[in-house]
Chains A and B, each alone.
Chain A
Amino acid sequence: MCIILVIVDLVEIKSKKGFKQMFDIYYNPLCNFAYSILRNSAKAEDIVQDVLMKIWEKRNDIEFNSNVKTYLFTSVRNKSFEYIRSEKSERAKISDYTLLQSRLGDDKIDKEATIMMMKEELNNSIRHLPPKCRDIFVLSKLQGLTYNEIAELKNISVKTVEAQMSIALRNLREKFKAKLDNEY
């Protein structure tokens, strides 16, 4: 079954330059989204590239609006589900396929896409933290280490860990502030 959404024109993707802008914004979050469904990073990239290539080929027939995000995430979701269904052996591994189907239903895809875009932004913010501070932030928040464990691992005091975490927070805070200021 194939589905076509009809959407209005806002995002200019008909030139290669405009298309690249869209690509740069969405490629990584879309890959992460596909990965969250497929648990296979190579396949996730394949699917996202297929979807984007199809859009490029059809760019003169499709008209986009602010729904471009929903359109992209919906397409990647559909392709990923299609793949799961076609690969019986792979599907067996994904015991929560139905759960995924309902979690990523048409009514929820928008929210899921927004969360994925937020994660992308957060990921970029973390990547741009000062290196020492980033290490500590990642160990703490992403690896789940306690401040004591980090202090021991890095051979620094717990106070230093706390101080670095504060710097990380200030950086993130300023980033969000700049972003909020831009939006209004």
Chain B
Amino acid sequence: MNIDSVIHNYLLSKESKEELRLLESWKEESKSNLEVLQALENNWNLLDEMKEYRAFDTPKAWEELSSNMVEEKEPKMEGEIKARKETKVFPLWKYAVAASVTLLVGLFVWNSVPSKGVGTASEPVGILTSVDDIITKDLEDGSSVWLNKSSALDISKFSKSNRSIALQAGEAFFQVESDKENPFSVDVSDFHITVVGTAFNVKKADQEVEIYVHEGVVSVSNGKRTVQLRAGDMITGNVDNFALFDKDNDNLVSWKSKKLVFKNTFLPEALKDISRHYGKIVELSPGAATDNCFISTEFRSETLEEVIEELKVLFQIKVSENEERIIITEINC
């Protein structure tokens, strides 16, 4: 019997018992037979979605594109990223020891967070730690630091002439007093951040760092390359693999400002900010259409329950909730 007609019948689910037996023994003959059959099966199912797959005119497109392509002989030298509000690209920052450094920091922080003494400053000398409360600290140079819950900040080396700090865990917001002679610097994981006078937020989570600039200009470096961030810019990732976003969203520091402000914000975006602020995921079920859902409102001291209540009033939402997340199942915009 011809194996192709057996496979054919099998794919159409009309194989006989004898054919199925044949196919089983053919499958066992070799690994490649098995793999070929799997490939055929997968592709067979895929074929149902292929109806609209088409062939665009690739050669013609190449002709159009290549006529606009200029090929210089010399690659451009590395330089400052000047093109604002355009695609910004950084080459790879290689840093082989990143993982081990992060791990060490993690252990250290775990040991340095006091088991009692809720929300008060530092037991180990010069290490500012927070547990259940946000704490603020005025530094001797006139700058201020806000430390989010469960965070640790090393200010042991800090002085007026040596303004250096290290964020060991969690999230901190810095309002920096201008002093051109003595730059203010923050180390976090493998990033080194320097500023003159500005306000910015730094968050360290697991393997990732997030740096968001609220005002002014901030330089971020890994020791090899320096990148300038301006107000509204955010870097997220680790030194090996990170992305720069043109975020311009002060809700990223809502933990410190204690307010979430939405001005005609696309609802799925607003939900991300709400999730971050309350530490619980609020999301839309895939079926909920939010094409025309835009929100303009402000939350200050509201609890998450009150926020959901407001969404109910605004968009007639229905929700289902478990410990980790609140899912919006129905919405009407």
Contacts and interface: CB of A to CB of B under 8 A. Distances in A.
Interface of A: 1-9, 14-16, 19-20, 23-24, 27-28, 31-32, 35-36, 41, 44-45, 48-49, 52-54, 56, 58, 60-63, 85, 91-92, 94-99, 101-103, 115, 118-120, 122-123, 127, 141-144, 162, 165-167, 169-170, 172-173, 176-177, 179-181
Contacts of B50: 119, 122-123, 141-142
Nearest to A180: B35
A170 B247 contact: no
Contact of A103 (B46, B58, B286, B289): B286
Interface in B277-327: 284, 286-291
B2 interface: yes
Given A173-B36, A179-B39, 9 more contacts: A3-B245, A6-B90, A6-B237, A7-B241, A36-B52, A97-B290, A142-B51, A173-B7, A181-B32
Contacts of A58: 87, 89
A60 B39 contact: no
Nearest to B7: A169
Contact of A180 (B32, B48, B243, B247): B32
A164 to B, nearest CB: 10
A122 B46 contact: yes
Interface string B95-136: 000000000000000000000000000000000000000000
Contacts of B140: none
B58 A27 contact: yes
Closest 6 CB pairs of A and B: A61-B89, A176-B39, A31-B56, A60-B75, A170-B4, A166-B4
Interface stretch (B15-23, B63-71, B169-177): B63-71
Nearest to B11: A169
Contact of A41 (B11, B56, B62, B244): B56
Given A6-B90, A118-B42, A177-B32, A162 B5 contact: yes
Contacts of B244: 2-4
B71 A98 contact: no
Interface of A is mostly: helix
Contacts, number: 171
A5 B243 contact: yes
Interface string B251-281: 0000000000000001010000000000000
B137 interface: no
7 contacts: A49-B65, A61-B76, A61-B90, A165-B8, A169-B7, A173-B36, A179-B39
Contacts of B205: none
Contacts of B243: 3-6
Nearest to B12: A165
Interface of B: 2, 4-5, 7-8, 11, 32, 35-36, 39-40, 42-43, 46-56, 58, 61-62, 64-66, 68-69, 71, 75-76, 85-93, 237, 241-247, 266, 268, 284, 286-291
Contact of A61 (B66, B91, B291): B91
Contacts of B64: 49
A16 B71 contact: yes
A118 B42 CA distance: 10
Nearest to B2: A166
Given A5-B243, A127-B55, A142-B50, A63 B62 contact: no
Nearest to A116: B53
B22 to A, nearest CB: 14
Contact of A63 (B42, B46, B88, B91): B91
A91 B32 contact: no
